[in-house]
Structure 1
Amino acid sequence: MPLTLLVVVMTAIAWVWLRSQPPSQRKPAILKLALIAGILILVLLAITGRLSLVFALLVFLFPLLRRVLPSLLSGRMPGSGGDEATVKQGNQSHVSSDILSMTLDHDSETMSGDVLKGPMAGRGLADLGESEFIELLQYCRAHDEDSARLLETYLDRRFGDSWRTDDPAGDDSEESSERKNPGHGGSLTDREALDILGLEAGASRDEIVQAHRRVMQKIHPDHGGSNYLAARVNEAKEQLMS
């Protein structure tokens, strides 16, 4: 009876943990749970004195485990293509401008970024104070419109509309630079387009379409996203499909 109760409790814990995983990580999580269950079964057999059966199983499974265990522990599906996989691990999009480098994590839907140029070069956006954000935004507006729109996107996603009350340009303009002009000034390279869609070189047309759909679901303006990022994602798809 105690053993049965233990199995039920552990199964419930495993189920709750599995449900808490992001959808993209559930298949690797299932494999990890299966591996853990197999190890526990082997331990139970050893405790009950069936060591000969344990050794026989280990001898039989060792070649297979040596091949797939590293992949299972790293969260990659066996047979997924290894180094030839075209989708980046981490499921992220990267967008850069002259002044800023920004990353959107598809799973958590959070943005992070770094300042590449100007008085705050080398600093992460997460480390900036409220007044520094406004100072950086003014610098971007004065030197690069794309950077200004990208920073406005970050501020909207992190703070909502509250930051606009501290924006000196808010009283002089009814619309932000992004709303007035959601496009950008230069064409994308293939490398930039791949970074935006979270793909690696060699991605197929089907993978490009799927990545475009996935990213647009995260940043579409109708879902509280950004006109600027949506335009960049569409441009990335057009660049890679041409």
Structure 2
Amino acid sequence: MDSTTQDAASQYFRTFTEELLSEWSAWRFEQNPFHVKEHETDPSAYARFSIVFGLACQAHDAARGYLSALAEAPAAATPLARFCFELGMTAQWISQIPDAYAAVANRHLQNQATLEKDLRAAEDPVFHPFADMLADSFSEKNLEKLPTTSAGSAKNFKQLCEDLEDAADYYLQYRFQSSESHAGLSVSSQWINSSEPEAGIRMQLRPTERDEWLALVTVSLLWAESAIDCLDATHERRTYLDEVAARLGCPRELPPSEKAMRRLRKRGKN
């Protein structure tokens, strides 16, 4: 792809992302109370919807942060793109896999319980009151694990991607993003212009703008919003989201993979 074509593609997805963010803000400002699908027959319906809606809201803020970072701090942009992608994929996963919400809840409670123990064991007593604050939110009852087949996927993003149809390879993009999101050589090298023993080290004053994740951020917003639509009994935005998916040339939602379906069917037989 030559530079002219690349610039045109970048501008297209930047404009598209800004459109999605604008549409989302307008919709949230005008929205009426939601009618959650199957809430009368499925006790988990409200929990699933609440988690998905919160993740979708966060995805849109992450996308706004990504666009701002491209202009103001491009070296810090990729972690925000990665976060937006993770949020969109996780929202899809919870909307598509019936017991995924339980795995997310179990992991959250376990992490909080572990944090409480670590705070209490801290050498510096300044942390101990925070352990008490966490302990007050727990009881034996709310630490009981919910039944789920998806515990592994809640802890492993690769497995989460494999739970969704034709999404396994998206984990590779996540790996690339991760290399630019953690303290390591991929991060440090972008600040080095040259490093020669005789000439010395020359620092890059500011890494150039890198917007290679714009398309994935745009798609992530679509998937985050479509996850809400999947659980919304009215499907009031489905027509718009279908149009967005057609323009992007990607599926509006990611249904469960055969691997995930086999796991869920096995649970149903037990």
TM-score, normalised via structure 2 length: 0.24
Structure whose CA Rg is larger: 1
Answer 1 or 2: higher relative contact order, Cα 8 Å, separation at least 6.
2
TM-score, normalised via structure 1 length: 0.26
